[in-house]
Each structure stands twice: as C-alpha cells, then as structure tokens.
C-alpha cells in the first residue's frame, strides 16, 4: 500500500510539475517560433510576415517579426512572451506594453483590444478560416478594426469598417 501511495504521489507531482508547460507555438494564437512565415494581403498588395531572430532591448529578449513588402520595404516589430502575455516593444518610447493575452477570454481587454469571440469562423477569398480568436482593436487615434488570429499562425485577417482589408494566403 505504501508503495502504491508513493507511486501515485510521484505521478501526481510529475504531472503537475512537467505537464503544465506553457502553450506550445502550434496552440498559440500569437506564436513566436523562429522560422514561421506566412503571406498576407493588405488591401490590394501582398506581404510576407517572417519570425526572424531574437534581440535584446532594455535587458529583455524579444522576437523580431518582419513584415516584408515588395519590392524592398521591411517593417520590424519586436515581441516577447512573459507570464502568458505577449509584450510589444515600442522603439520610439523605448518601453514595452502588453499586447496580447495567450489565454484569451471573451470580454477580456488587453492593451488596445477586447476579445470578442473565441472559436469564430471567417470566409476570405482564399477559403474559410475556422477556430479563430476575434479581437476588436481601438487605437489612440480613434481608429477601430477587428483582427482575427489562428492558432499556430497568428494574425490571419483584419476587417476595417466591416470590410476585409487583410487576409491569410496559404502557400
């Protein structure tokens, strides 16, 4: 009996200690794994979003995400994951701000966005996207848009004034 209690206690400890890894990149609505690359439209143009390498700002390690617009414009953004929150580094202000909660809950507000739906679907010119996270964004300028995120891919669509202005293009 003592042996059985020891085995059960050990299994329970291992499950609690090692079984609660943070969400894997394929299960994340905002993955930051180096090498992830996808094509998106932006109005009538296409661009490539590539998760590059890491870089250190103010003592914190961030992942560089490059948006590459043909023919030769690149916009770099920097994100880090800490305590199940994605932070964005603002290069102008030299600070970071919470951008995205890894475990979204409908109605939750984070940074400029409010989670409107988990598990949504959306039709795009390239097909139907399912199991999406929908976040309504409100910016300091007063502008609004609705963003759609897919586990393992991140951002896959943006609507502005009810119109689809950005969507994922499968390779």
Average the pLDDT over 65-75 and give the result. Answer: 94
pLDDT of residue 24: 61
Rounded to whole angstroms, what are the CA distances from 118 to 2, 35, 96, 104? Answer: 46, 26, 26, 8
In this prediction, residue 5 carries a pLDDT of 33
- Asked whether 115 and 132 are in contact (CB, 8 A), the reply is no
By the 10 Å C-beta count (0-12 exposed, 13-18 middle, 19+ buried), 91 is classed as exposed
pLDDT of residue 11: 34
**Per-residue pLDDT tens for 132-152?**
999 999 888 889 999 999 999
Cβ atoms 75, 64 nearer than 8 A: no
**Would you place residue 97 in the very low, low, confident or very high pLDDT band (cuts 50, 70, 90)?**
confident
Q: Can you read off the two tokens belonging to residue 51?
A: 């998760």
In angstroms, the CA 132 to CA 108 distance is: 16
pTM of the full predicted structure?
A: 0.81
Which residues lie across from 89 on neighbouring strands? 96
Question: For the chain, which residues make up each domain, given as ranges?
Answer: 26-169
20: pLDDT strictly greater than 70: no
């Amino acid at each position: 009996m003592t042996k059985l209690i020891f085995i059960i206690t050990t299994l329970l400890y291992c499950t609690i200690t090692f079984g609660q890894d943070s969400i894997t990149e394929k299960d994340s609505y905002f993955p930051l794994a180096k090498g992830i690359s996808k094509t998106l439209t932006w109005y009538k143009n296409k661009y490539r979003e590539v998760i590059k390498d890491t870089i250190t700002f103010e003592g914190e390690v961030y992942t560089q995400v490059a948006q590459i617009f043909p023919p030769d414009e690149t916009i770099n953004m920097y994100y880090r994951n800490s305590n199940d929150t994605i932070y964005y580094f603002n290069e102008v202000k030299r600070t970071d701000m919470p951008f995205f909660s890894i475990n979204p809950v409908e109605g939750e507000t984070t940074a400029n966005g409010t989670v409107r739906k988990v598990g949504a679907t959306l039709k795009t010119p390239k097909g139907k996207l399912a199991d999406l996270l929908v976040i309504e964004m409100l910016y300091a300028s007063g502008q609004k848009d609705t963003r759609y995120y897919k586990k393992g891919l991140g951002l896959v669509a943006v609507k502005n004034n009810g119109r689809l202005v950005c969507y994922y293009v499968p390779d």
